[in-house]
Structure 1
Amino acid sequence: MLVEPTGGVLEFHNHAVTPIRALRIITVVYDEHPDWTWTTTRPFQRNFLLPGDASHVRGEFVDPNGASHRLGVGGFDITFRFTDSENRVWERTSYGRPELVKDADPDAE
């Protein structure tokens, strides 16, 4: 699972060989202005993303005075979470290594 920020759009790519579920954005922080809030016109969550597929969302930053600023290329950290095909929940920030947040429940079926 990889996210690519380009010109106002965050694009998520599933590079795994299995589908992922419950993809959602946790935070988007602009390096130069960490006090700006990232926002979208509608909440972003994808319930299912097949191998090789991508999903995107448009967003912008809003400064403390309420002015909008278009998402640029790079210069910010994106933290997102997803569930793999074995029901494990992972969290990743930008290009960092995914970290296991919750292991699969052995009793769940």
Structure 2
Amino acid sequence: MKIDQSGKVSLPTPTRSDASRSSSTASQSASTQESAGAAQENVTLNPIAAQLGQTDQTGSDNSVFDSDRVASLRQAISEGRFTVRADNIADKLISSVQDLLSQ
């Protein structure tokens, strides 16, 4: 590809081998789409993934959401009173990873 002084882009002229490659690729793509439409695929979920899906569905009943707490945190952040305690975050992250690894 070249850009001349006028700012116009000129693309190289495709050669015979380029044209045959593109038509070959197009025919392969079309045959792949046809076979994908005709074939049915089986999907198997990992048991852990299935458990996570069940947790998501039942989690709405057991989840705790304190809108007052969220509002107070939002206000503290906007007023600059909220401080991040990296040591607490690190401790909870390590604990979470340990729990995940023990399962």
Range class of TM-score, shorter chain:
under 0.3
Which TM-score applies when normalising by structure 1? 0.20
More strand by share: 1
Which TM-score applies when normalising by structure 2? 0.21
